[in-house]
Chain A
Amino acid sequence: NAGVTQTPKFQVLKTGQSMTLQCAQDMNHEYMSWYRQDPGMGLRLIHYSVGAGITDQGEVPNGYNVSRSTTEDFPLRLLSAAPSQTSVYFCASTSNTGEAKNIQYFGAGTRLSVL
């Protein structure tokens, strides 16, 4: 029962490098999201998707790209990493049926440091 799987768990980048954070879910959820968590700021939405081929910006989209070619996968790309992107990143998928409707299920997170 995998749920939401994020890889890698930890990553260190140098300023200017690019990388992709992976997120996969096996619950057939249409809605997926990426958040970043910073101390005292709660979780802030970066990008989200309501289904394959459909993505939209959240509160803090600058410096990040997403795509959704399949229902299962929702990768987050850092185009040119900056120290301000040092954070913990969480992917979530949302149920749209039954008792679990609108509950977001979170991955374990990716801890990213940009030097």
Chain B
Amino acid sequence: AQSVTQLGSHVSVSEGALVLLRCNYSSSVPPYLFWYVQYPNQGLQLLLKYTSAATLVKGINGFEAEFKKSETSFHLTKPSAHMRDAAEYFCAVSEGYRGSTLGRLYFGRGTQLTVWP
């Protein structure tokens, strides 16, 4: 089974500052990696996903993540934070089911991002 570690349950940045949310996974080469965002009282929305086509993945709202196999990491970044980025962010890893790459999703515990004006 996969495991996902998100370093830092809370991250605070000023508006306009760099956002860096860290994620490490347990396996050497998982099939799929994801970042999801959850705004208050809502379900999770996909931010971006890695599928081995490129190590740097661009997502919505100016976010991007870089897959580093040697570090088993998939950190999420955004050059300039905006107030609307305040939300909880989840890193997730997909494990294949019965030989297929479609399967269970393992989530990290989440990182709450606060953006100060």
List the interface of chain A (C-beta within 8 A of B): 4, 30-31, 33, 35, 40-45, 48, 50, 58, 90, 92, 94, 96, 101-109
Contact = CB atoms under 8 A, between A and B. Distances in A.
A33 B105 contact: yes
A44 B51 CA distance: 23
Contacts of B104: 33, 45, 48, 58
B74 interface: no
Contacts of B49: 102-103
Interface residues of B, number: 26
B29 interface: no
A31 B102 contact: yes
Give the interface SS of chain A, mostly helix, strand, loop or mixed.
strand
B53 to A, nearest CB: 10
Contacts of B31: 102
Contact of A42 (B97, B98, B108): B108
A78 B108 CA distance: 25
Contacts of B46: 103-105
Interface in B10-35: 31-32, 34
Contact of B109 (A4, A41, A102, A109): A41
Contacts of B43: 4, 90, 106-109
Could you say which of B44, B46, B90, B94 has the most chain A C-beta atoms within 10 Å of its C-beta? B44
